[in-house]
Amino acid sequence: MNLILLGPPGVGKGTQAKLLIDRFGIPQISTGDILRAAVKELTPMGAKAKGYMDSGALVPDEVVIGIVEERLAQADCQKGFILDGFPRTVPQADALGQVLSGMGKSIDHVVSLSVDKGELLKRLTGRRACANCGAGYHVDFAPSKVAGVCDACSGQLVQREDDKEETILNRLAVYEAQTAPLIAYYQAAGVLRSVDGLGTVEGVQSDILAAIRA
């Protein structure tokens, strides 16, 4: 199954993708995670991407298209994949279509997740991750036992640079301007499945499963 999770930052794409990996045994391809790893490892690509990411802007299309093309060619994508955070622009969606058609593949479902802006802000500003092991927390919805300290490894919990309120507002504006047009794009292609992202993680997951089985 070849799946795209589409939706604004904070809607729950990453959380839902992780559950889908376990269910279907196919990998999640998160361009955000790949870019953050490149920034951390100080690769040339990471150095190029960092400024865009810190301000909440999109990294240039050719960079992310190259990342995804390379990743899709790997053996673990044979049975399918879950794209999380890609495509984010119409040129990226066009390029993806071309890459897949060159491999004799296509997208089966685009799950469009939505929640209102107030909820997105609450989710993103409270998001924390362990600087050591990467475990995710939320100050209100999924707090650690001791504030600021990871339950799993006692590492320090940190906020993503781009989860500061000013940057979040920019990321949401960028989403509206550049990514939201993909809803109509995939609707026209007949693969769009709309799912309400508000509710429990398990409830949203079962709505996603129902939408892709329908």
Catalytic residue among 123, 128, 171, 193: 171
Cβ closest to ligand AMP, residue 149 vs residue 159 = 159
Name which position in 48, 52, 142, 169 contacts ligand AMP (CB under 6 A).
52
* Cis amide bond preceding 87, omega within 30: yes
Binding flag, residue 85, ligand AMP (CB under 6 A): yes
213 part of the active site: no
The answer for residues whose C-beta is within 8 angstroms of residue 23's C-beta and 6 or more apart is 209
Residue 123 CA to residue 109 CA, distance in Å, equals 26
Tell me which H or E stretch contains 5. strand 2-6
Binding flag, residue 163, ligand AMP (CB under 6 A): no
193 part of the active site: no
127 part of the active site: yes
Name which position in 81, 86, 185, 186 contacts ligand AMP (CB under 6 A).
86
Name which position in 3, 38, 53, 150 contacts ligand AMP (CB under 6 A).
53
5 burial via Cβ count (<10 Å: 0-12, 13-18, 19+): buried
Residue 57 CA to residue 139 CA, distance in Å, equals 25
Residues acting as catalytic residues: 13, 88, 127, 160, 171
Enumerate binding residues for ligand AMP (CB under 6 A): 9, 31-32, 35, 52-53, 56-59, 64, 85-86, 88, 92, 162, 171
